[in-house]
């Protein structure tokens, strides 16, 4: 047992709290019995006989240290162990160096932005998704890729929905002037009223001018020598009645009948009232009695009519708008009378408006609501892209996007990745199309090492072989159909029979035939030459490797079946060697593992823990 070095004791005091050291003695005593028991069991092992630990000591000092180690002075004396450890901590050079390194360690040993750390953190954070085959923005389970989200600024555009305005405004048209004569209907109450009130058939308009009133001859009764006047449309005209008749006295006053001749009164004023009031008045007293006139009263007047049209003013459709959606008209300036070109014009509404909303493509919608994990964006700010009469109808939106960048990491998701609680996925064996090629290459390398001849320094060495082919009716020891079945094959030599078996196993290379014996110039026995190898792998590498090395096998009569040197082997491109003839032997000797057995083993493993 090596002795405890003082520097190690100081290092231990540096790395662990003092309270932990105080508990070491207690821990030691609790484990002494267990350690003794384990040693006793080991010594009782029949494979361990005559074991004495003192045999490992080179001198008596070592034996004394084993019997009474220096550290035994600390048994039940934790205080001295702590004091000695603190002393060594300040006096031992190694402990001082260790303490300096600890005190001067970098403030941040772990870089949280390190890609490897972030990937590892991602595996932990999304362990559930990965184990259940759920793709996220950081792991693409379908493609077996690991992804990062890289910040990129992007921009999109969208309609604001703010409406521009279409205006409907009345505009002056043609001015019409018409001279007209009207005979209004009227009624009069004889002897009881001084007024004649007439209502025109067509009321005067706001621009109609009454020029002349034609009054017929009027019969009236009033005071003798009175002064009479006629008021029509705020114009007063003195009257001089004629044909005074039937005067009768009454307190020195005479009441007589008067006749007012037909007359015309020029007015020349705008006539807007629906009624025309004609008043005969006697200045002395309101005692004038009017009789019904004999003739109708007529009016000459002029109508001035300002025609009005409506003009709609809408902003032009911007190029970026697919269409402009129009809303309903709304009156924004109430109707009334206004002066237009010196004429008074009445309209029910002087201004109507309707909203015009730009219909445009919203390229922000798919960016703010992506269909997958390829990116995710948030809005930063907006600027106006298209403005119509001071109204922004399309805006540009500046985005800050996290764009997914993935790289192939052969990520395996789902239950095939690992077992969560021992309940593992029982998969089905899947054939790897490259497995046979890879194993064949490894098998070729292994067999090259085994077949290396240290004497000749050659690999995959073959040997010449031949067989006889006699005329018809005699034995044919070169038959490719096997031996021992055809007539005469039993006459073949053991070497020829062995060659037949080698051909059936694919261990030979056919070099052709030649005449082995002639009689009178006629060939009576032919032979076929071969190179025969110990394994199919050797035959494949020899057959295809020599083609790359441009080395032949000689002739049928003089075969060249020597091996390949290590130097030549280095120039053979094994990726170009066709091992398909070897696959049959490989598949026949391949045993796939039982997935049920593997699952049971894993479950037993977890249950034991």
Tell me: the pLDDT tens digits for 75-89? 888 888 888 888 887
Burial of 393 (0-12, 13-18, 19+ CB in 10 A): buried
Give me the pLDDT at residue 331, please.
94
Residue with tokens 């130097």: 567
Number of domains observed in the structure of the chain: 3
> Measuring CA to CA, how many Å separate 419 from each of 13, 173, 412?
41, 90, 13
Q: Rounded distance, CA 284 to CA 225, Å?
A: 10
Q: Is the pLDDT reported for residue 235 higher than 60?
A: yes
Q: Is the pLDDT reported for residue 486 higher than 90?
A: no
Q: Is the pLDDT reported for residue 352 higher than 90?
A: yes
Tell whether 99 and 211 lie within a shared domain: no
Q: Write out pLDDT tens, residues 279-320.
A: 877 776 667 777 766 678 888 889 888 898 888 888 889 999
- pLDDT class for 7, splitting at 50, 70, 90? very low
Tell whether 196 and 95 lie within a shared domain: no
Other CB atoms within 10 A of residue 415 CB:
15
Other CB atoms within 10 A of residue 282 CB:
20
Instruction: Answer whether residue 368 is part of any domain.
Output: no
- pLDDT class for 489, splitting at 50, 70, 90? low
Which of these ranges, 31-35, 273-277, 517-521, 590-594, has the smallest mean pLDDT?
590-594
Domain finish residue from 268, 296, 324: 296
Q: Dihedral angle at the C-alpha atoms of 113, 116, 120, 125, nearest 10 degrees?
A: 30
Give me the pLDDT at residue 4, please.
37
Which of these ranges, 59-73, 304-318, 440-454, has the smallest mean pLDDT?
440-454
362 backbone dihedrals φ, ψ, rounded to 5°? -100, 100
- pLDDT class for 252, splitting at 50, 70, 90? low
Give me the pLDDT at residue 15, please.
41
Q: Rounded distance, CA 51 to CA 395, Å?
A: 91
- Helix, strand, coil percent content, the chain, rounded in steps of 5: 30, 35, 35
Instruction: Answer whether residue 526 is part of any domain.
Output: yes
Instruction: Answer whether residue 370 is part of any domain.
Output: no
> Which carries the bigger pLDDT value, residue 362 or residue 133?
362
Q: Which of 123-137, 255-269, 300-314, 577-591 has the highest mean pLDDT?
A: 300-314
**How many whole angstroms from its chain centre is CA 29?**
64
Give me the pLDDT at residue 16, please.
40
Give me the pLDDT at residue 14, please.
39
Instruction: Answer whether residue 197 is part of any domain.
Output: yes
294: tokens are: 């004999």
34: tokens are: 């267990």
Percent residues over pLDDT 70 in the chain: 74
Q: Each residue of 445-472: b (16+ CB within 10 Å) or e?
A: eebbeebbeeeeebbbbbebbbbbbbee
Give me the pLDDT at residue 530, please.
94
Give me the pLDDT at residue 81, please.
86
Compute the average pLDDT of residues 232-250: 78
285: tokens are: 């007293």
Q: Is the pLDDT reported for residue 5 higher than 60?
A: no
Q: Is the pLDDT reported for residue 38 higher than 80?
A: no
Given a contact cutoff of 8 angstroms between Cβ atoms, the answer to whether 212 and 267 are in contact is yes
Q: Is the pLDDT reported for residue 259 higher than 80?
A: yes
Task: Give me the chain's average pLDDT, please.
Answer: 78
Given a contact cutoff of 8 angstroms between Cβ atoms, the answer to whether 451 and 463 are in contact is no
Q: Each residue of 203-236: b (16+ CB within 10 Å) or e?
A: ebbebbbbbebbbeebbbbbbeebebebbbbeee
Given a contact cutoff of 8 angstroms between Cβ atoms, the answer to whether 479 and 513 are in contact is no
Other CB atoms within 10 A of residue 40 CB:
9
> Which carries the bigger pLDDT value, residue 424 or residue 334?
334
Give me the pLDDT at residue 472, please.
55
Q: Rounded distance, CA 333 to CA 169, Å?
A: 10
Q: Rounded distance, CA 318 to CA 392, Å?
A: 11
Task: Give the helix ranges, DSSP H, for 406-461.
Answer: 435-450
Q: Do the bridges between strand 218-223 and strand 508-519 make them parallel or antiparallel, or are there none, so unpaired?
A: unpaired
Compute the average pLDDT of residues 43-63: 73
- pLDDT class for 223, splitting at 50, 70, 90? confident
Q: Is the dihedral of CA 145, 148, 153, 159 positive or negative?
A: positive
357: tokens are: 């909303």
Compute the average pLDDT of residues 423-431: 51
Give me the pLDDT at residue 329, please.
92
Q: Rounded distance, CA 495 to CA 14, Å?
A: 81
Q: Is the pLDDT reported for residue 591 higher than 60?
A: no
Give me the pLDDT at residue 227, please.
80
Q: Dihedral angle at the C-alpha atoms of 339, 342, 343, 345, nearest 10 degrees?
A: -20
> Which carries the bigger pLDDT value, residue 121 or residue 423?
121
Instruction: Answer whether residue 111 is part of any domain.
Output: no
50: tokens are: 């005559």
Given a contact cutoff of 8 angstroms between Cβ atoms, the answer to whether 299 and 213 are in contact is yes
Instruction: Answer whether residue 223 is part of any domain.
Output: yes
Q: Rounded distance, CA 205 to CA 337, Å?
A: 12
Q: Rounded distance, CA 383 to CA 374, Å?
A: 26
Q: Write out pLDDT tens, residues 179-222.
A: 988 888 777 665 555 677 776 655 677 888 888 888 888 888 88
Instruction: Answer whether residue 209 is part of any domain.
Output: yes
Q: Rounded distance, CA 240 to CA 258, Å?
A: 9
Tell whether 452 and 577 lie within a shared domain: yes
Compute the average pLDDT of residues 406-418: 74
Give me the pLDDT at residue 30, please.
62
Compute the average pLDDT of residues 345-365: 92
Q: Residue 511: which domain range? A: 448-581
**How many whole angstroms from its chain centre is CA 587?**
47
Q: Write out pLDDT tens, residues 165-181.
A: 999 889 998 988 989 88
SS3 call for 422: coil
Give me the pLDDT at residue 453, please.
76
253: tokens are: 């006053």
Closest CA to 517 of 448, 471, 561, 554: 471
Which of these ranges, 125-139, 351-365, 534-548, has the smallest mean pLDDT?
125-139
Give me the pLDDT at residue 187, please.
72
Instruction: Answer whether residue 26 is part of any domain.
Output: yes
Domain finish residue from 296, 321, 346: 296
- pLDDT class for 484, splitting at 50, 70, 90? very low
Give me the pLDDT at residue 3, please.
37
522: tokens are: 């006629």
- pLDDT class for 140, splitting at 50, 70, 90? confident
Tell whether 195 and 94 lie within a shared domain: no
**How many whole angstroms from its chain centre is CA 566?**
57
Domain finish residue from 296, 326, 348: 296
């Amino acid at each position: 047992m090596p002795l405890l070095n003082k520097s190690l004791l100081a290092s231990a005091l540096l790395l662990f709290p003092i309270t932990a050291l105080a508990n070491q003695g207690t821990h030691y005593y609790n484990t002494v019995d267990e350690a003794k028991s384990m040693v006793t069991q080991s010594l009782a092992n029949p494979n361990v006989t005559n074991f004495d630990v003192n045999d490992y000591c080179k001198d008596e000092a070592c034996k004394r240290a084993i019997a009474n180690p220096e550290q035994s002075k600390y048994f039940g004396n934790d205080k001295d162990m702590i004091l000695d450890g603190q002393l060594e901590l300040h006096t031992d050079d190694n402990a001082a160096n260790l303490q300096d390194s600890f005190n001067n360690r970098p403030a941040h040993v772990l870089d949280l932005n390190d890609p490897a750390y972030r990937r590892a953190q991602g595996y932990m954070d999304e362990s559930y998704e990965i184990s259940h085959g759920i793709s996220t923005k950081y792991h693409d389970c379908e493609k077996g890729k690991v992804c990062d989200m890289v910040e990129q600024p992007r921009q999109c555009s969208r309609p604001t929905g703010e409406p521009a305005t279409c205006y409907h405004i009345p505009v002056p048209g043609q001015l019409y002037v018409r001279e007209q004569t009207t005979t209004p209907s009227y009624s009069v109450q004889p002897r009881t009223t001084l007024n004649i009130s007439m209502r025109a058939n067509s009321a005067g308009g706001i621009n109609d001018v009454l020029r002349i009133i034609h009054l017929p001859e009027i019969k009236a009764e009033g005071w003798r020598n009175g002064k009479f006047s006629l008021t029509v449309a705020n114009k007063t005209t003195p009257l001089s009645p004629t044909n005074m008749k039937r005067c009768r006295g009454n307190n020195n006053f005479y009441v007589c009948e008067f006749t007012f001749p037909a007359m015309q009164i020029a007015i020349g004023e705008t006539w807007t009232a629906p009624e025309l009031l004609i008043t005969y008045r006697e200045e002395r007293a309101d005692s004038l009695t009017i009789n019904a006139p004999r003739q109708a009263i007529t009016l000459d007047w002029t109508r001035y009519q300002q025609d009005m049209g409506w003009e709609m003013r809408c902003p032009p459709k911007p190029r970026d708008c697919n269409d402009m959606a129009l809303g309903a008209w709304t009156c924004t300036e109430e109707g009334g009378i206004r002066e237009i070109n010196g004429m008074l014009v009445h309209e029910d509404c002087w201004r109507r408006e309707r909203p015009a909303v730009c219909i445009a493509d919203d390229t922000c919608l798919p960016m703010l609501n992506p269909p997958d994990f390829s990116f995710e964006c948030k809005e930063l700010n907006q600027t106006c892209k298209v403005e119509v009469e001071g109204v922004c109808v399309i805006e540009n939106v500046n985005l800050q996007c996290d764009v997914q960048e993935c790289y192939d990491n052969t990520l395996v998701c789902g239950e095939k990745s690992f077992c969560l609680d021992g309940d593992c996925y029982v998969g089905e064996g899947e054939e790897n199309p490259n497995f046979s090629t890879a194993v064949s290459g490894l098998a070729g390398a292994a067999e090259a090492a085994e077949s290396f001849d240290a004497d000749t320094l050659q690999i995959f060495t073959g040997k010449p072989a031949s067989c006889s082919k006699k005329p018809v009716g005699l034995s044919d020891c070169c038959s490719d159909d096997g031996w021992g079945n055809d007539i005469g094959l039993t006459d073949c030599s053991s070497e020829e029979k062995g060659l037949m078996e080698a051909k059936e196993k694919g261990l030979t290379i056919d070099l052709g035939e030649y005449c082995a014996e002639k009689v009178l110039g006629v060939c009576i026995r032919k032979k076929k030459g071969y190179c025969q190898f110990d394994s199919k792998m050797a035959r494949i590498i020899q057959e295809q490797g020599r083609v790359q090395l441009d080395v032949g096998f000689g002739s049928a009569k003089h075969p060249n079946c020597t091996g390949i040197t290590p130097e030549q082997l280095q120039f053979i491109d094994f990726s170009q060697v066709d091992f398909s003839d070897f696959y049959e032997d490989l598949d026949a000797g391949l045993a796939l593992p039982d997935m049920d057995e593997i699952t049971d083993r894993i479950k037993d493993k977890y249950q034991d823990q």
